[in-house]
Amino acid sequence: MIETIKKLLGIGPKVDLGEVIATGGVIVDVRTPGEFAGGHLKNSINIPLQVLPSQIAKLKKDKPVITCCASGMRSASARAMLKAQGYTAYNGGSWYNLKRYER
């Protein structure tokens, strides 16, 4: 049951996120600017979920995108938006869990 929910939300790595990051994947943190200022991954960019539709053109379709937020819920929504627009996108879940991939 939990695995089914994770698949529906796009939570959990189906690929090695560390490899995606190492090969040029872009990390998009979809939290609010205030949350982002409180801590974030280096080299991540902040595009809050509520403005992602109007800012999506800032992202290049030739690079995979890993979305993150506080828990994984907003990043799941962002991943769905990006996939619908033709991006290769992965839900990285919590930004803090992605810290292990920082270099």
pLDDT at 96 over 80: yes
Strand-pair category, 89-94 with 45-46:
unpaired
Provide, rounded to the nearest whole percent, the portion of the chain with pLDDT above 90: 81
pLDDT at 8 over 70: no
List residues with catalytic annotation.
69
- Rounded to whole angstroms, the Cα distance separating 37 from 58 reads 20
The residue range of the domain holding 30 is 2-101
Is residue 12 classed exposed, middle or buried when 0-12, 13-18 and 19+ CB atoms within 10 A define those classes?
middle
Can you tell me which residue has the tokens 């290049």?
A: 60
Is residue 32 classed exposed, middle or buried when 0-12, 13-18 and 19+ CB atoms within 10 A define those classes?
middle
15: domain CATH number is 3.40.250.10
Per DSSP, 14 falls in state S
Which helix (H) or strand (E) is 88 found in, with range? none
Per DSSP, 96 falls in state G
Digit-coded pLDDT (tens) for 33-61:
999 999 999 999 999 999 999 999 999 99
Q: In the structure encoding, which two tokens stand for residue 52, read together?
A: 């992602």
Number of domains in the chain: 1
pTM of the model: 0.85
